[in-house]
Amino acid sequence: MNVPLSASQITTYLLCARKYQLRYELGLRPEFKSAALAFGSAMHSAIDWWHAERIDGRSPGAAEVVRTFRSDWQSEQETGVRYDADENAAGFESLGSALLELYVARMAAENIVATEVPFEVPLVDPESGEVFAGRLRGYFDALIGEPGAETLVEVKTTARRFSAADLRRKVQFAAYRYAFRQARGRVPDVKVVALVKTKRPAIDVQDVTETLDERLFVRMAVEVGRAVDAGVFPANPGWACDGCEHAKACAAGEVKRAA
């Protein structure tokens, strides 16, 4: 495998390999940015800023976090955000403000140890110890607790609460648990903080006690990497086409790398 893969690249490949090719191999710019994606990005920026302030010994209140979010959200509007019929910028702004107030209230007592922590680890079979070609890369959203015994925190903006089955099957959680163990030599506790975009905004904090089997996850990552190296990118027309940011390039049979 030539390039390290992230959990999101693995998920994209498994959803539609043609989409993976357009985005990551050919490097095409998305044809639009969904409001949900832009919203998640502005929320993560504001939360990361707050975490960094806390690590530096300051404790900005929710009003300041909301101000940071609003500024990021305004910037997002300049990137060509696409809204569904029942969505608009003002609605997302008030939703984000309410969710950030809940987040700050819920996390104020936690000791934030690190934020946006990058990792890049080898792919190793957990039973045989075989080291495969390729690496896994990504970011942990935050580490909280006592240094040396940190809990890994993933913050997600989501349309609904995660069920136990959602948490158990998500590639991302298996990837992060595996990466943490590879990088630090212990299996971490993992918490997901879901910021739920329901009419009445809610925060739902759950311990991720069970993820995909580690060996299965490593195999998935290795096999996706091998398929990418071999240039295997079949289209997978289906429900994902409706919100696909590369639908026009896909239909046009695009095969050229972006200039």
Q: Which residues bind ligand SF4 (CB under 6 A)?
A: 16, 18-19, 22, 235-237, 240-241, 244, 246-247, 250
Residue 10 or 203 with smaller CB distance to ligand SF4:
10
Helices (H), the chain: 7-15, 17-20, 35-55, 62-77, 89-107, 164-169, 171-184, 214-229, 247-251
Burial of 65 (0-12, 13-18, 19+ CB in 10 A): buried
**Shortest Å distance, C-beta 157 to ligand SF4:** 22
CB of 255 to ligand SF4, least distance (A): 13
Q: Which CB sits closer to ligand SF4, 127 or 239?
A: 239
What is the nearest approach in angstroms of ligand SF4 to the Cβ of residue 236?
Answer: 6
Distances, alpha carbon 102 to alpha carbons 99, 204, 230, in Å? 5, 10, 46
| Nearer to ligand SF4 (CB atom), residue 150 or residue 245 | 245
Closest CB to ligand SF4 among residues 61, 237: 237
**Least Å from the CB of residue 11 to ligand SF4:** 13
Task: For tokens 């998935």, name the residue.
Answer: 220
Question: Are 110 and 144 a contacting pair, CB within 8 Å?
Answer: yes
Instruction: Using the structure block, give the residue that is written with the tokens 């999101």.
Output: 8
